[in-house]
Amino acid sequence: MMSEKKLTIIRQGDVVIIPADSEFVQKLFGMNFDNMFTYDVHIVIHGEEHDHELKGNYKACNLGEDMYFVDIENAELKHPEHGNVQLPKGKYIIMRIFDWLRRIARFGRTRRFD
């Protein structure tokens, strides 16, 4: 049985922000994010109506279409309708919620959770 702390996911409309320091998240993505090499990039995730834009001090690595690993010093995810989300220092995965749910469903079909 996993003895891990509760995973807290932040949602901003159709985008989710997931802490990448979780053992479960690292298993789900099949990679260890501790030594992930990051770049200075500008992140815009395309929402259904408006884009979500990450502003601030961070480095990131593209993991796929509208899916990023980010190492944040201090940043804010901005959106004109859902309000802004302040993100404290840490490592996160930012992606669309539908892709997150698909990934969890696929993971659950192929692995046991104990």
What digits encode the pLDDT tens for the residues 19-73?
988 888 888 888 877 777 777 778 888 878 889 999 999 989 888 888 899 999 9
Torsion of CA 62, 33, 57, 64, to 10 degrees: 10
| Residue that is written with structure tokens 């989710």 in the block | 16
pLDDT at 75: 94
- Cα-atom radius of gyration of the chain, to the nearest Å? 14
The contacts of residue 2 (CB under 8 Å, 6+ apart) are 23, 24, 113, 114
List the one residue out of 114, 42, 103, 113 whose CA is nearest residue 78: 42
pTM, rounded to two decimals: 0.81
User: Which band of pLDDT confidence, cut at 50, 70 and 90, is reported for residue 111?
Assistant: low
Per-residue pLDDT band for 114 (boundaries 50, 70, 90) equals: very low
